Chains A and B, each alone.
Chain A
Amino acid sequence: MMKKALAVAKWEYLEKVKAKAFLIGLFLTPLIMVGMGVIPGLLAGQADKTTKVIGVIDPTGELAVPLAKAMQEKYLLASGEPNYLVRPLTVGKPNNMDLAIEEASKLAVTDEIEGYCILGSGGLADSVVEYRSKAVGDFRVGVRLEETLKSIIAEKRAVARGIDLAVVKELNVTLDVKMVKLSKTGEKEEAGFEKVFLSAYVFLMMLFLLIMTSGQLLVRSILEEKSNRIVEVLVSSVSSTDLMVGKVLGLSGLGFTQIAFWTLIGVGATLQFGINLIGLDHALLLIVYFVLGYLFYAAVFIAAGSPLSTEQEAQQVTSYLVILLIIPIVLAMPAMKDPEAPWLKVLTFVPFLTPTMMALRIPIQTPATWEILSTIVLMIVSIYGAMVVAGRIFRIGILSTGKSPKIKEIFRWARQG
């Protein structure tokens, strides 16, 4: 008997693994995820290698020189050269800002300068400063200009009030608050806020996409089999239990292909770029929840998909499941703020949410061991229950055609053994 279930599994796997939707999901998802992991890292982490020339248009004529001096002294490249050379751009007489901006833009476009900064004509009173560049993605320039200008203005104002410059320098403190994550045992972990947030987000999205791609493939194939009555031939050849077991197995094969592929990419990314989103223990734990979540949702998709007869209904039902799956994404922020919140724990024990909640919580803060063990047991029991119920719905659902049955009717199928 098992032989036929395996034949179904093999077919489902081989036919779907070739499906475009699956291949796109397989390759695109990690690409997006790695992209999300790598690009901000590159932006934030990589220092400039060459000196950048920045123009400054200063109608007051008071700030350009001190700014140039400060920037040159304060920020250095690894080689010891100044990171920035600030070049005051002349504002022609009469004070023609428009002409100056036009010329500066030309310089920026021809790469003579990296960008230029327009200080308000109000000088010290005006708090609006503009930085124009082809590469506004380099947010460090903005931050550094802001910081430097701030202290120059502060110094000037202080001096104007007769405060000693040394005192001002002393008052002017720069601080860098570094977020450090503590592990279970209280050790420091090298993970900042962004990284924790990012990894929680990445794993949630991965689980979400994993479940959705194969869930949709499953529903679509059931619909196809129903609409052209292949299902009648199937049911006359194979028992409905074998058919469902085969489908779940085939689908699991797809899921594991995805997980394995992504894990490989993850390991590759870790080795290549040194982005280590997650420790090995966490990774293994996540894989456990991925597998459990995947199997649970396979049953959910079978139960939800088999009574349907049209693509529209399928889309509707899938969108409900999407909502169920993305709830934890919405909760990511509050969960970061308070990983110990009771409501987080409560939600973790809702089987529909357990895998995604865990995918969210594990990178932020490893849940207590009792929580992990009890949710794993809970998931195994839920998967069993869901499979039994899905089997009952599947048996009747796949043969129902025409108008989709009402929810009440489906519940009746689910109750009948």
Chain B
Amino acid sequence: MSMNPVLAARDLRKEFATVVAVDGVSFEIQAGEIFGLLGPNGAGKTTTIRIILNILEPDGGTVMFDGKPFSSAVRDRIGYLPEERGLYRKSKLLDTILYFAELRGMKRTVARSEALKWLERAGLSAYRDRKVEELSKGNQQKVQFITSIIHNPALVVLDEPFSGLDPVNQILLMDIFKEMKQSGKAIVFSTHQMDQAEKLSDALCLINRGKVVLGGTVRDVKKRYGTNSVHVEFDGDGEFMRSLPGVQRAIMYENAAELELAPDARTQDLLGAMNTRVELRKFELLEPSLQSIFIQTVAGAESVPAAGKAVA
């Protein structure tokens, strides 16, 4: 594995006529990592994506692929699914996929067998000679997704990949993400749906108003915002929990408790101590959800009207 991150963005800056869309954004993406690019609508996610894909030229900053600047060779190693979906409506499915594969430098014969494989997996084999416009929106989106990964890119960038997909296909997409991650690919996806990001990402970057307001691995981020508390449900008398080592504060309910832990508390010790005294039905580490961090960070930055809408 190379020492360089698959993608390193440094101090990206992009101004449009009236606004600074991206203002000093930096992040790194490692091989085998699923990277969530989060932020409310209009935060600068799509502009950032366009810059890293060399679609837009930044006014400042650099983008490095494996430690090297963008070159035409890089084009064949990246895949891209834009936010606004669309394919050639009048063209046939298989033809369309083969065209995009060819544009990414794939040999036609290889592209063909890969395309057939993916169509099979997406349940679209029967439609391969149909025109794109004859497909449902969701199926069109799957086709477009195939075009973005068919050439087995080292880095795939997906702008809002889950929007418009039904739950079954969302799971299909997540499975594919995980497979790609296992084979060492780097996946960047943007979303404003925090639960999705939470389930999938290893690392994230939260952008608001063109600036990175939060970044790092998901675990670090949660730790930073963590309230570090435990929710337990049990049968028996739980009064003793108040005085267990590591418990700073306890709120007792009938057969349940909310325990706030000291920073150095070990949940395993706690669990052991409880198990001997009561019958535990539930022991849950209460992590802050990304959702709450998101709201805290974005809304806390000052009143951001877009934030509420984004979360909804």
Q: Which residues of A contact B (CB under 8 A)?
A: 1, 3-4, 7-8, 11, 15, 19, 224, 227-230, 232-239, 399
Among B95-117, those with CB < 8 Å from A are 99-100, 102-105
Chain A neighbourhood of B103, CB < 8 A = 4, 7-8, 234, 237-238
Given contacts A1-B72, A238-B103, A239-B72, contact A233 B80 (CB under 8 A): yes
By the criterion CB–CB under 8 Å, are A15 and B90 in contact?
yes
Q: Select B55's contact among A3, A4, A236, beta carbons within 8 Å.
A: A236
Among B73-87, those with CB < 8 Å from A are 75, 78, 80, 82-87
By the criterion CB–CB under 8 Å, are B80 and A236 in contact?
yes
By the criterion CB–CB under 8 Å, are A237 and B85 in contact?
no
Add 7 more A-B contacts to A15-B91, A19-B90, A399-B55 (CB < 8 A): A4-B103, A229-B82, A229-B84, A232-B80, A233-B80, A233-B148, A236-B80
By the criterion CB–CB under 8 Å, are B86 and A7 in contact?
no
Most central of B85, B91, B99, B105 by chain A CB within 10 Å: B99
Chain A neighbourhood of B55, CB < 8 A = 232, 235-236, 399
CA distance A235 to B72 in the complex (A): 11
By the criterion CB–CB under 8 Å, are A230 and B75 in contact?
no
Identity of the chain A residue whose Cβ is nearest the Cβ of B144 in the assembled complex:
A233
Identity of the chain B residue whose Cβ is nearest the Cβ of A4 in the assembled complex:
B103
B56 at the interface (CB under 8 A from A): yes
By the criterion CB–CB under 8 Å, are A236 and B147 in contact?
no
CA distance A229 to B75 in the complex (A): 17
CA distance A4 to B108 in the complex (A): 12
Q: Name 23 interchain pairs, CB-CB below 8 A, sorted by A.
A: A4-B103, A4-B105, A7-B99, A8-B103, A15-B88, A15-B91, A224-B88, A228-B84, A228-B85, A228-B86, A228-B87, A229-B84, A230-B87, A232-B50, A233-B80, A233-B82, A233-B147, A234-B103, A236-B75, A237-B100, A237-B103, A239-B72, A399-B55
By the criterion CB–CB under 8 Å, are B80 and A227 in contact?
no
Most central of B56, B85, B89, B102 by chain A CB within 10 Å: B102
Q: Select B100's contact among A227, A229, A233, beta carbons within 8 Å.
A: A233
B230 at the interface (CB under 8 A from A): no
By the criterion CB–CB under 8 Å, are A7 and B82 in contact?
no
Identity of the chain B residue whose Cβ is nearest the Cβ of A232 in the assembled complex:
B82
Identity of the chain B residue whose Cβ is nearest the Cβ of A20 in the assembled complex:
B90
Please, what's the 1-or-0 string for B49-66, where 1 marks a CB less than 8 Å from any CB in chain A?
010011110000000000
Give the total of B residues in contact with A, Cβ under 8 Å: 27
Q: List the 4 closest pairs (A to B, CB-CB), nearest first.
A: A228-B86, A237-B103, A229-B82, A236-B53
CA distance A237 to B103 in the complex (A): 6
By the criterion CB–CB under 8 Å, are A224 and B89 in contact?
yes
Most central of A228, A234, A237, A238 by chain B CB within 10 Å: A237
Chain B neighbourhood of A229, CB < 8 A = 82-86
Identity of the chain A residue whose Cβ is nearest the Cβ of B91 in the assembled complex:
A15
Q: Distance (Å) between the CB of B139 and the closest chain A CB?
A: 15
Chain A neighbourhood of B88, CB < 8 A = 15, 224, 230
Identity of the chain A residue whose Cβ is nearest the Cβ of B102 in the assembled complex:
A7
CA distance A7 to B102 in the complex (A): 7
Chain B neighbourhood of A7, CB < 8 A = 99, 102-103
Q: Distance (Å) between the CB of B72 and the closest chain A CB?
A: 6
Most central of B78, B87, B88 by chain A CB within 10 Å: B88
Identity of the chain B residue whose Cβ is nearest the Cβ of A230 in the assembled complex:
B86
Chain B neighbourhood of A233, CB < 8 A = 80, 82, 100, 147-148
Q: Distance (Å) between the CB of A46 and the closest chain B CB?
A: 45
Most central of A8, A15, A236 by chain B CB within 10 Å: A236
Among B291-306, those with CB < 8 Å from A are none
Among B216-260, those with CB < 8 Å from A are none
CA distance A11 to B103 in the complex (A): 10
Chain B neighbourhood of A237, CB < 8 A = 75, 80, 100, 103-104
CA distance A7 to B86 in the complex (A): 20
CA distance A119 to B87 in the complex (A): 71
Q: Select A11's contact among B56, B85, B87, B99, beta carbons within 8 Å.
A: B99
Identity of the chain A residue whose Cβ is nearest the Cβ of B108 in the assembled complex:
A7
Q: Distance (Å) between the CB of A278 and the closest chain B CB?
A: 37
Chain A neighbourhood of B53, CB < 8 A = 232, 236
Chain B neighbourhood of A227, CB < 8 A = 86
Identity of the chain B residue whose Cβ is nearest the Cβ of A19 in the assembled complex:
B90
Identity of the chain B residue whose Cβ is nearest the Cβ of A240 in the assembled complex:
B55
Q: Select A238's contact among B75, B85, B87, beta carbons within 8 Å.
A: B75
CA distance A253 to B95 in the complex (A): 19
Most central of A1, A230, A235 by chain B CB within 10 Å: A230
Chain B neighbourhood of A239, CB < 8 A = 72
Identity of the chain B residue whose Cβ is nearest the Cβ of A233 in the assembled complex:
B80
Identity of the chain B residue whose Cβ is nearest the Cβ of A243 in the assembled complex:
B103
CA distance A4 to B72 in the complex (A): 11
CA distance A233 to B84 in the complex (A): 11
Chain B neighbourhood of A235, CB < 8 A = 55
CA distance A137 to B102 in the complex (A): 58
CA distance A230 to B83 in the complex (A): 11
Q: Distance (Å) between the CB of A343 and the closest chain B CB?
A: 45
Most central of A11, A19, A233, A238 by chain B CB within 10 Å: A233
Identity of the chain A residue whose Cβ is nearest the Cβ of B81 in the assembled complex:
A233
Most central of A7, A15, A19 by chain B CB within 10 Å: A7
CA distance A399 to B51 in the complex (A): 13
